[in-house]
A and B are shown apart, each in its own frame.
Chain A
Amino acid sequence: MLNIPQLPLEDIVTKGVNWLTNHLSGLFNLMQHVGQTVMDGMTNALVAVPMPLMIAGITLIAILTTPKKYGFPLFTFVGLAIIANQNLWDDLMSTLTLVIMASIISLVIGIPLGIITAKSPKTAAVVKPILDFMQTMPGFVYLIPAVAFFGIGVVPGVFASIIFALPPMVRMTDLGIRQVPVSLVEAADSFGSTTWQKLIKLELPSARNTILAGANQTIMLALSMVVTASMIGAPGLGRGVLSAVQHANIGSGFVNGLGLVILAIIIDRFTQKLNSKPGEKAETKPWKRWTILATLVVMIGGGVVNAVTTKKETGQRVNLGYVEWDSEVASTNVLAESLKQHGYNVTMTPLDNAVLWQSVANGQVDASLSAWLPITHKTLYDKFKNDVNVLGSNLKGAKTGLVVPDYMNVNSIEDLTNQADKTITGIEPGAGEMASAKKTLSSYTNLNGWQLQGSSSGAMAIALDKAYKAKKDIVVTGWSPHWMFSKYHLKYLADPKGTMGRGESINTFTRKGLKKENPKLEKVLDKFHWSKDDMESVMLAIQNGKSPKEAANNWLKSHQKLADSWYQ
Chain B
Amino acid sequence: MAKVEIKHLTKIFGKRPKAALKMVKQNKSKNEIVEKTGSTVGVYDINMSIEEGEIFVIMGLSGSGKSTLIRLLNRLIEPTDGQLFIDGQEITKFNKKQMLDIRRKKMSMVFQNFGLFPHRTLLENTEYGLEIQGVDKAERRKRAEKALDNAKLLSFKDQYPSQLSGGMQQRVGLARALTNDPDILLMDEAFSALDPLVRGEMQEELLDLQANVRKTIIFITHDLNEALHIGDHIAIMKDGQLQQVGTGEEILTNPANEYVETFIGGVDRTKVLTAESIMIPALTTNIAVDGPTVALRKMSDEEVSGLVAVDRNRKLLGYLSSDSAVSARRERKSLTEVIAEMPTVSLDTLIADIMPIIYDSQTPVAVIDSNNRVKGVIIRGAVIEALADTEGDDENA
Interface residues of A in 198-251 (CB under 8 A from B): 201-202, 205-206, 208
**Whole-angstrom distance between the Cβ of A205 and the nearest chain B Cβ:** 4
Q: Are B111 and A183 in contact (CB under 8 A)?
A: yes
Q: Is A305 an interface residue (CB 8 A)?
A: no
Q: Is B115 an interface residue (CB 8 A)?
A: yes
Q: Is A279 an interface residue (CB 8 A)?
A: yes
Residues of chain B within 8 A of A409, CB atoms compared:
none
Whether A192 contacts B119 in the complex (CB less than 8 A), given A183-B113, A278-B160, A279-B159, comes out as no
Residues of chain B within 8 A of A184, CB atoms compared:
115, 117
Residue in A181, A191, A206, A279 with the greatest tally of chain B CB atoms within 10 Å:
A191
Residues of chain A within 8 A of B109, CB atoms compared:
186-187, 190-191
Q: Is B198 an interface residue (CB 8 A)?
A: no
**Whole-angstrom distance between the Cβ of B162 and the nearest chain A Cβ:** 5
Q: Is B132 an interface residue (CB 8 A)?
A: yes
Q: Are A278 and B111 in contact (CB under 8 A)?
A: no
Q: Is A564 an interface residue (CB 8 A)?
A: no
Q: Are B119 and A191 in contact (CB under 8 A)?
A: no
Q: Which of A190, A201, A205 contacts B76 (CB 8 A)?
A: A190
Q: Is B274 an interface residue (CB 8 A)?
A: no
Scan A175-188; emit 1 where CB is below 8 A from any B CB, else 0. 00000010110111
Q: Are B160 and A193 in contact (CB under 8 A)?
A: no
Q: Is A197 an interface residue (CB 8 A)?
A: yes
Q: Which of B99, B119, B160 contacts A205 (CB 8 A)?
A: B119
Interface residues of B in 82-109 (CB under 8 A from A): 99-104, 107-109
Q: Are B117 and A192 in contact (CB under 8 A)?
A: no
Q: Is A194 an interface residue (CB 8 A)?
A: yes
A514 to B197, alpha carbons, bound, how many Å?
A: 89
Nearest to B129 among chain A residues (CB) is A191
Residues of chain A within 8 A of B76, CB atoms compared:
186, 189-190
Q: Is B39 an interface residue (CB 8 A)?
A: no
Q: Are B101 and A278 in contact (CB under 8 A)?
A: no
Q: Are B118 and A278 in contact (CB under 8 A)?
A: yes
Nearest to B125 among chain A residues (CB) is A187
**Whole-angstrom distance between the Cβ of B379 and the nearest chain A Cβ:** 51
A197 to B104, alpha carbons, bound, how many Å?
A: 13
Q: Is B285 an interface residue (CB 8 A)?
A: no
Residue in B118, B119, B180 with the greatest tally of chain A CB atoms within 10 Å:
B119
B interface size (C-beta, 8 A) = 33
Whether A279 contacts B132 in the complex (CB less than 8 A), given A184-B117, A191-B103, A208-B119, comes out as no
Q: Is B128 an interface residue (CB 8 A)?
A: yes
**Whole-angstrom distance between the Cβ of A463 and the nearest chain B Cβ:** 58
Q: Are B128 and A189 in contact (CB under 8 A)?
A: no
Whether A279 contacts B74 in the complex (CB less than 8 A), given A186-B111, A189-B103, A208-B119, comes out as no
Residues of chain A within 8 A of B107, CB atoms compared:
190
Interface residues of A in 246-282 (CB under 8 A from B): 277-279
**Whole-angstrom distance between the Cβ of A200 and the nearest chain B Cβ:** 10
Residues of chain A within 8 A of B101, CB atoms compared:
192
Scan B117-140; emit 1 where CB is below 8 A from any A CB, else 0. 111100000001101110000000
Residues of chain B within 8 A of A191, CB atoms compared:
103-104, 108-109, 128-129, 132, 180
**Whole-angstrom distance between the Cβ of A176 and the nearest chain B Cβ:** 12
Residues of chain A within 8 A of B102, CB atoms compared:
192
A365 to B103, alpha carbons, bound, how many Å?
A: 65
Interface residues of B in 189-232 (CB under 8 A from A): none
Residues of chain B within 8 A of A193, CB atoms compared:
132
Interface of A (DSSP majority class): helix
A183 to B163, alpha carbons, bound, how many Å?
A: 19
Residues of chain A within 8 A of B120, CB atoms compared:
205, 278
Nearest to B74 among chain A residues (CB) is A190
A188 to B159, alpha carbons, bound, how many Å?
A: 20
Q: Are B162 and A192 in contact (CB under 8 A)?
A: no
Q: Are A206 and B118 in contact (CB under 8 A)?
A: yes
Residues of chain B within 8 A of A201, CB atoms compared:
117, 128, 131-132
Residues of chain B within 8 A of A187, CB atoms compared:
109, 111, 115-117
Residue in A189, A206, A277 with the greatest tally of chain B CB atoms within 10 Å:
A189
Residue in A186, A187, A277 with the greatest tally of chain B CB atoms within 10 Å:
A187
**Whole-angstrom distance between the Cβ of A46 and the nearest chain B Cβ:** 34
Q: Are A279 and B100 in contact (CB under 8 A)?
A: no
Residues of chain A within 8 A of B160, CB atoms compared:
278-279
Q: Are A190 and B103 in contact (CB under 8 A)?
A: yes
A188 to B102, alpha carbons, bound, how many Å?
A: 14
Nearest to A189 among chain B residues (CB) is B76
A277 to B161, alpha carbons, bound, how many Å?
A: 12
**Whole-angstrom distance between the Cβ of A287 and the nearest chain B Cβ:** 21
Residues of chain A within 8 A of B117, CB atoms compared:
184, 187, 201-202, 205-206
Q: Are B132 and A197 in contact (CB under 8 A)?
A: yes
Residues of chain A within 8 A of B108, CB atoms compared:
190-191
Residues of chain A within 8 A of B162, CB atoms compared:
277-279
Nearest to B102 among chain A residues (CB) is A192
**Whole-angstrom distance between the Cβ of B110 and the nearest chain A Cβ:** 9
Q: Are B115 and A192 in contact (CB under 8 A)?
A: no
Q: Are A183 and B100 in contact (CB under 8 A)?
A: no
Nearest to B77 among chain A residues (CB) is A186
Residue in B71, B100, B112 with the greatest tally of chain A CB atoms within 10 Å:
B100
Residues of chain A within 8 A of B113, CB atoms compared:
181, 183
Q: Are B132 and A194 in contact (CB under 8 A)?
A: yes
Q: Are B128 and A278 in contact (CB under 8 A)?
A: no
**Whole-angstrom distance between the Cβ of B124 and the nearest chain A Cβ:** 9
A260 to B76, alpha carbons, bound, how many Å?
A: 51
A187 to B163, alpha carbons, bound, how many Å?
A: 20
Residues of chain B within 8 A of A189, CB atoms compared:
76, 103
Q: Are B115 and A206 in contact (CB under 8 A)?
A: no
Q: Are A192 and B111 in contact (CB under 8 A)?
A: no
**Whole-angstrom distance between the Cβ of A324 and the nearest chain B Cβ:** 51
A187 to B351, alpha carbons, bound, how many Å?
A: 41
A183 to B99, alpha carbons, bound, how many Å?
A: 19
**Whole-angstrom distance between the Cβ of A201 and the nearest chain B Cβ:** 7
A270 to B322, alpha carbons, bound, how many Å?
A: 94
**Whole-angstrom distance between the Cβ of A258 and the nearest chain B Cβ:** 39
Q: Are A194 and B111 in contact (CB under 8 A)?
A: no
Interface residues of B in 146-197 (CB under 8 A from A): 159-160, 162-163, 180, 186
A184 to B104, alpha carbons, bound, how many Å?
A: 16
Q: Are B132 and A192 in contact (CB under 8 A)?
A: yes
Residues of chain B within 8 A of A183, CB atoms compared:
111-115
**Whole-angstrom distance between the Cβ of B395 and the nearest chain A Cβ:** 27
A391 to B102, alpha carbons, bound, how many Å?
A: 81
A197 to B116, alpha carbons, bound, how many Å?
A: 16
A202 to B129, alpha carbons, bound, how many Å?
A: 13
A189 to B119, alpha carbons, bound, how many Å?
A: 17
A208 to B117, alpha carbons, bound, how many Å?
A: 13
A277 to B115, alpha carbons, bound, how many Å?
A: 17
Interface residues of B in 224-258 (CB under 8 A from A): none
Residues of chain A within 8 A of B129, CB atoms compared:
191-192
Q: Are A192 and B118 in contact (CB under 8 A)?
A: no
**Whole-angstrom distance between the Cβ of A498 and the nearest chain B Cβ:** 74
A206 to B118, alpha carbons, bound, how many Å?
A: 8
Residues of chain A within 8 A of B104, CB atoms compared:
191-192
A277 to B128, alpha carbons, bound, how many Å?
A: 20
A126 to B70, alpha carbons, bound, how many Å?
A: 36
Q: Are A192 and B100 in contact (CB under 8 A)?
A: yes
Nearest to B179 among chain A residues (CB) is A191
A88 to B115, alpha carbons, bound, how many Å?
A: 53
14 additional contacts (CB under 8 A) given A201-B132, A202-B117? A181-B113, A183-B114, A187-B115, A190-B76, A191-B103, A191-B128, A191-B180, A193-B132, A205-B117, A205-B120, A208-B119, A277-B162, A278-B118, A278-B160
Complex A-B: 24 CB contacts under 8 Å: A181-B113, A183-B114, A183-B115, A186-B71, A186-B109, A187-B115, A187-B117, A188-B128, A190-B108, A190-B109, A191-B103, A191-B109, A192-B99, A192-B129, A194-B132, A197-B132, A201-B128, A201-B132, A205-B117, A277-B162, A278-B160, A278-B162, A279-B118, A279-B160
* 8 closest A-B pairs by CB: A279-B160, A187-B115, A192-B103, A192-B104, A190-B109, A191-B129, A278-B119, A192-B100
